[in-house]
Amino acid sequence: MNPYRRRLPHWDIPDAPVFVTWRLWGSLPQERAFLPEHLTSRAAFVALDRLLDTTRIGPVYLRQDKIAGIVRDHLQALVAERLCSLDAYVVMPNHVHVLWTPHIQLSQLMHRTKGPTARWANKLLGRVGQPFWQEEYFDRLVRSDAELLQIQHYIEWNPVKAGLVAHPWEFPWSSASAEGGLESARVFRPAFVPD
Please name the fold of domain 14-190: Alpha-Beta Plaits (3.30.70)
Do 187 and 181 touch, CB atoms closer than 8 A?
no
Residue 155 main-chain phi, psi, to 5 deg: -65, -50
The contacts of residue 192 (CB under 8 Å, 6+ apart) are 153, 156, 157, 168
User: According to the model, what pLDDT value does residue 97 have?
Assistant: 96
The string of pLDDT tens digits covering residues 52-67 is 666 666 899 999 999 9
| The pLDDT of residue 194 | 38
Is the pLDDT assigned to residue 190 strictly greater than 70?
Answer: no
**Buried residues in 46-82 as b, exposed as e (16+ CB within 10 A):** eebbeebbeeeebbbbbeeeebbbbbbeebeebeeee
Higher pLDDT, 144 or 4: 144
- Portion of the chain with pLDDT greater than 70, in percent: 72
Summarize pLDDT for 12-62 with one digit per residue, the tens: 787 899 999 999 998 875 655 555 566 566 665 665 666 566 666 689 999
Q: Work out the pLDDT band at 10, boundaries 50, 70, 90.
A: low
- Determine phi and psi for 102, rounding to 5 degrees: -70, 140
What per-residue confidence (pLDDT) applies to 191?
Answer: 33
How much is the pLDDT for 14?
Answer: 79
pTM of the model: 0.81
Task: Work out the mean pLDDT of the chain and round it to a whole number.
Answer: 82
CA–CA separation, 84 vs 99, rounded Å?
Answer: 10
